[in-house]
């Protein structure tokens, strides 16, 4: 009888420390400690990302203040409706990502799979629209470099007049949106991995921290676009 009580006490300790959970790594005492550590690591990573994008945004602000008229003229060549559509797409993807985490919290495995799939589909939609925009720039010879030569039949006369100065705007456009698209591709890859794990039943109300960390990354990438859209697309909205 004493042995039974002792065994029950040990089981209670193991449960408190998450010892029976297959997702608990050996270096942690409990799932809670593991969650706090991984979440802190993700926030530290996002801080480095903020510094990285901060440098690019700083370069943009400096050139924009120096060449405001040129930037306003060049921004007229961006497709505002497509940019706005992509903004709505990413806002929707943030919602589906949050719903996927919520589904894990209430043990709805099928909903986890559904919302992860929708998040990836919206991300792919964003990249598809971006590809269309990039193709327009190549077709109109608006890609910075030796072949930069705005086509007068498809671009404004004002852009032709500002000449090579417009290359600075389009260089920043491709750098900033290209880096952002790369982060989207990485995010979709991470979500695909989480989708496979969810298919195997890895996540439930007791363990869903990888979904939360991926959600933080995804929301960050979406927020970056929220800044990129007005800075790049709307700068010339009231300029002539």
Report the distance separating Cα 54 and Cα 98, nearest Å. 26
Mean pLDDT of 82-110: 95
Q: Is the pLDDT higher at 207 or at 132?
A: 132
Whole-number Cα distances in Å, 12 to 9, 23, 28 = 5, 18, 17
Report the distance separating Cα 236 and Cα 224, nearest Å. 20
CA-CA-CA-CA torsion sign (72, 168, 186, 26): negative
Rounded to 5, what percent of the chain is helix, strand, coil? 75, 0, 20
- Which residue ranges make up each domain of the chain? 31-233
Report the distance separating Cα 67 and Cα 70, nearest Å. 5
Report the distance separating Cα 154 and Cα 152, nearest Å. 6
174 backbone dihedrals φ, ψ, rounded to 5°: -70, -35
| pLDDT at residue 25, as a whole number | 56
The pLDDT tens digits for 198-209 are 999 888 888 888
Alpha helices in 2-108 (DSSP H): 2-16, 31-66, 68-75, 80-105
Report the distance separating Cα 120 and Cα 186, nearest Å. 11
How confident is the prediction for the chain on average, in pLDDT?
84
105 backbone dihedrals φ, ψ, rounded to 5°: -65, -25
Q: What global pTM score does this model have? A: 0.83
The pLDDT tens digits for 57-93 are 999 999 999 998 888 888 988 999 999 999 999 999 9
Report the distance separating Cα 147 and Cα 180, nearest Å. 24
- Residue 13 confidence class, pLDDT cut points 50, 70, 90: very low
Chosen CATH of 31-233 out of 3.40.640.10, 3.30.70.1170, 1.20.120.80, 3.10.450.50: 1.20.120.80
- Across 29-33, 66-70, 99-103, least confident range: 29-33
Local structure of residue 229 (DSSP, 8 states): I
């Amino acid at each position: 009888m004493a042995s039974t009580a002792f065994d029950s006490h040990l089981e209670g300790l193991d449960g408190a420390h998450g010892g029976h959970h297959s997702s608990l790594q050996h270096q942690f005492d409990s799932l809670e400690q593991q969650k706090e550590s991984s979440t802190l690591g993700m926030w530290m990573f996002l801080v480095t990302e903020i510094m990285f994008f901060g440098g690019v945004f700083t370069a943009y602000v400096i050139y924009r203040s120096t060449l405001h008229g040129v930037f306003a003229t060049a921004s007229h060549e961006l497709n505002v409706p497509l940019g706005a559509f992509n903004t709505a797409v990413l806002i929707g993807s943030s919602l589906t990502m949050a719903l996927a985490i919520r589904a894990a919290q209430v043990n709805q495995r099928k909903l986890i799979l559904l919302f992860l799939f929708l998040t990836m589909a919206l991300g792919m939609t964003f990249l598809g629209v971006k590809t269309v925009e990039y193709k327009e720039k190549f077709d109109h010879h608006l890609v910075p470099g030796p072949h930069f030569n705005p086509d007068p039949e498809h671009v404004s006369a004002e852009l032709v007049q500002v000449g090579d100065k417009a290359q600075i705007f389009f260089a920043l456009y491709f750098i900033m949106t290209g880096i952002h698209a790369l982060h989207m591709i990485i995010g979709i890859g991470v979500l695909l991995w989480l989708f496979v794990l969810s298919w195997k039943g890895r996540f439930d109300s007791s363990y869903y921290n990888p979904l939360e960390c991926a959600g933080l990354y995804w929301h960050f990438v979406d927020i970056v676009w929220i800044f990129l859209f007005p800075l790049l697309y709307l700068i010339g909205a009231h300029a002539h």
